[in-house]
Chains A and B, each alone.
Chain A
């Protein structure tokens, strides 16, 4: 038994190293003093937090970070709101458009985003939405919708809806029954969908660089790719890695809190079929 455990421990460690080394490398790079940044070592030989300070003082990173947070939150909220309606209908109601809706969502999920870049660029510049928050929120919501609809409808199917009826028989009003019985049962599905939708919006790069042009709406990933370095001859390695670590923090927090939810959300529906 001990030998077996040791064997698994080694395998586990390999997996963990595989998953974490690139992240550790970026973190280490962000802590390197500019004078040692080009030494090629994995770990910093001289530590500094300057890169983090610089990113906010002269990196122009604060506004993109605010944009990223705002845009991702709003997109998530809208996608969850619309997604809940649709998922409820798909899970509970008998109506003719049900399969069309599922098919459409699947189609959008598989959509090559770059196919939308050209037309959206032209449409948004004519509508004045280019380089604005709504200009990014629109595509983000659209691409988060399939995810939220699928995840939530899978969850909603598992809810024993008869409980609602039972509660009503026990004298609860319609709204009370919904709030006291259904909401707690549905919440996990909604949270899962929200986390996945947020990660997806947070992650986007293609729309962010195609549909924005200034700090007004540029999100953090796009801003990082535009870093120019403190002076003309200095490569922005330190600032880029510091900003990269900052962008990763919310993801790590989410993963730590919602690990189970994310896993169940990702695999929802994949098994059947």
Chain B
């Protein structure tokens, strides 16, 4: 670590002299260090160790952990990218950030041999999340789909539509049993995830495929109607408007919910909770409006910062961090579903992922969130207008939302 005074002089010099004079201040001494920035993931350090061993001195990955919340992670990354910070090499990015960072030219496209390796064996849906305008900007690392998780002691046959689920809840309430269906209804990304999936179930989308035009319309109104009906039904937890992923999980574990719509991490947590109904904890496809639904798609990928000074090492490191064995470790140790299909049959997967068949099936129809560089605006505005879900006015909300989204796409949007 440089001492503060020296650093001060370095910085002061930087403003008056050409970069070339700054030999002593840069990071030449650590030329082969690859700085990885990633969301907190408990066993990621084991994967990093493994890659460092395999690299055999070609590079050394240093793991830097970002804040816990997605907004905080994104904010820290984009701020440093905007400032052309050379201290970041490999970035673990949420799939919804790809478009923004690619459009701003902050992350490098993947080409040739690197791209071929990063594509090999990857399922279609997660591969698409790494693309922007037909170019590849990240190496798919893990994917995710939400499923319907339910207690078979309360709901023997999983319901397939929202209407049916509300009916089940009504019946359970009459029997004085746990009757809440836990959904991520708080004013945050989770609410957008829900809405996006509902619009797809109604046969529409928020934006068009190119991400430059607002769609919404009739399907969105239908989706909003269903969301409001649910929010006002017996199935809705009174704290729906404060529920996030972990709140939902805890509500079911504590026995107040009979089902939840959530990512697969809830399964391992339920088994570890020691509840007697853990053995009855099952999974089913995401519910739809008229028929089967479309599961929300999640996940994160590895991108390379444009300002990285060790680009070739960074590409190699990123490839290792998401190769088959790394993905298997992430899946088994941290519950993150792999993007490479063959990993689902790897060692230890059957035990950690009894629902892997369902995940692969859900991936076929899973809906990604809108792909646009201004996704942050789209998401913030959407969650703002949809919260709390019980006060949605379908037609009115659709109109207002459309207005704001059109502005956001023209980058005239104001973030609330």
The chain A residues found within 8 Å of chain B, CB to CB, are: 63, 66-67, 70, 74, 121, 124-125, 127-135, 213-214, 216, 226, 228-229, 232
Contacts and interface: CB of A to CB of B under 8 A. Distances in A.
Nearest to A216: B7
Interface string B93-135: 0000000000000000000000000000000000000000000
A66 B4 contact: yes
Contacts of A229: 68
Contacts of A214: 80, 85, 87
B4 to A, nearest CB: 5
Contacts of A131: 80, 83, 85
Given A226-B67, A228-B40, A213 B85 contact: yes
Contacts of B67: 226, 228
Contacts of B1: 63
Q: Name which of A121, A127, A216 has the most chain B CB atoms within 10 A of its CB.
A: A216
Contacts of A70: 4-5, 8
A133 B76 contact: no
Contacts of B268: none
Nearest to B80: A213
B174 interface: no
Interface stretch (B9-17, B232-240, B286-294): B9-17
Contacts of B82: 121, 125
A228 B76 CA distance: 14
Contacts of B153: none
A127 B16 CA distance: 9
A127 to B, nearest CB: 5
B345 interface: no
Contacts of A216: 7
Contacts of B11: 128-129, 132-135
B351 interface: no
Q: Which of B4, B12, B42, B76 has the most CB of A within 10 A?
A: B4
Contact of B14 (A125, A128, A226, A228): A128
10 contacts: A121-B82, A124-B83, A128-B14, A131-B83, A133-B4, A133-B8, A133-B11, A213-B85, A214-B85, A228-B68
B79 A132 contact: no
Interface residues of B, number: 23
A212 to B, nearest CB: 9
A226 B85 CA distance: 19
Interface in B24-83: 40, 42, 65, 67-68, 72, 76, 79-80, 82-83
Contacts of A226: 67, 72
B12 to A, nearest CB: 5
Contacts of B87: 214
B75 to A, nearest CB: 9
Contacts of A74: 8
Most buried by A among B11, B65, B72, B84: B11
B15 A134 contact: yes
A101 to B, nearest CB: 26
A1 B85 CA distance: 69
Contacts of B83: 124-125, 130-131, 213
B46 to A, nearest CB: 16
A133 B7 contact: yes
Contacts of A67: 4
A67 B11 CA distance: 14
B62 to A, nearest CB: 13
